Amino acid sequence: MRARRLIAAAGVAALGLCSLTACGKSAPDVAAYVGDTSWSIARVDELYDDVQAKYGEAVRQDAARAGATPSPEQLRASVTRQDVLNLLVSLELGKRVAAEKNIQVPDEVGPEQLQQALGVPATAEYTRLWGEWVDVLQTLNRQLPPAELSDDAVMAVYGAIAKTGAIESGMTVDQVRQAFGDGGFVRSASAVSAALQDEAERADASVNPRYGQVGVPSFVNSAQGLVFYSLPYINHDGPVTDISTPEPAAPADGETAGGTAG
């Protein structure tokens, strides 16, 4: 697959999923449900631990070749348990949207193509799942009708990217629209977001309140390379600000609940 096709994609959003108890699903060892599919907290931890172990080993090997000793902080990947759950839920919802619309998703992106941008070795299952997600995301970006975006929606995308430091903060709507050009990636992202939110509602999706608001993994190209970010849920009219979500528990192991650290 050509690199251009990979870096041209952008996805969005944070889905408003009800808590397990609010949805009548209260198994304490379950991280999230999407229809009949569920992921245990142990499964999320397994994927997270796998990332940390393989990332740490890769850092140790690189440091050994340079005759250096990495610090404990350098041995930790920026991926959080929240990132893992975001990916699992989004991938399931995206596959359901594609199946419901009879959209075929080609197998184009492998973990080797993503490991450098993600900063996670290709051998980690998290990286492999990201490859599946990029295939789904790019296919939906191409197949779903682009959404018409309001100024609020455009600024929501801008705000999420600005938080990563990849674009100047404090810009006006007109400046952002000029910077985004025709805004094609924003319109596609909004359309995907709306489709995933609709599917989450149909599937009675729910998340354990120990996690934060579920975000759909997102990325966009910049002069510095791929920028990974996460947005509030956006529908065809703009950002949704009144979605009821559980208060997240205190992050464990020094993590920050939300998206991948930029």
**Across 14-23, 62-71, 152-161, least confident range:** 14-23
Query: Domain for residue 258, yes or no?
Result: no
State which residues form the domain around 169.
3-229
With pLDDT > 70 as the criterion, what percentage of the chain qualifies? 78
Task: In whole angstroms, give the CA distance from residue 229 to residue 224.
Answer: 14
Over residues 164-180, the mean pLDDT reads: 90
Query: Domain for residue 250, yes or no?
Result: no
Query: Domain for residue 218, yes or no?
Result: yes
Query: Domain for residue 262, yes or no?
Result: no
Query: Domain for residue 241, yes or no?
Result: no
The whole-chain average pLDDT of the chain stands at 81
Over residues 29-33, the mean pLDDT reads: 94
Over residues 107-120, the mean pLDDT reads: 94
Task: In whole angstroms, give the CA distance from residue 92 to residue 204.
Answer: 13
Q: Which residues contact 47 (CB under 8 A, 6 or more apart)?
A: 84, 88, 125, 126, 129
**Confidence class of residue 11 from pLDDT cuts 50, 70 and 90?**
low
Question: How many domains does the chain divide into?
Answer: 1
Contact 156, 239 (CB under 8 A): yes
**Across 103-117, 165-179, 223-237, least confident range:** 223-237
Query: Which residue from 206, 215, 227 is spatially nearest to 81, judged by alpha carbons?
Result: 215
Task: In whole angstroms, give the CA distance from residue 171 to residue 126.
Answer: 35
pLDDT at 155: 85
Question: pTM for the whole thing?
Answer: 0.81
Strands 37-40 and 206-207: unpaired
Query: Domain for residue 260, yes or no?
Result: no
- pLDDT surpasses 50 at 1: no
pLDDT at 50: 98
- pLDDT surpasses 80 at 171: yes
Task: In whole angstroms, give the CA distance from residue 14 to residue 100.
Answer: 21
pLDDT at 85: 93
Query: Domain for residue 212, yes or no?
Result: yes
With pLDDT > 90 as the criterion, what percentage of the chain qualifies? 50
Query: Domain for residue 164, yes or no?
Result: yes
Over residues 237-257, the mean pLDDT reads: 42
Task: In whole angstroms, give the CA distance from residue 137 to residue 106.
Answer: 11
Q: How far is CA 108 from the centre of its chain?
A: 19
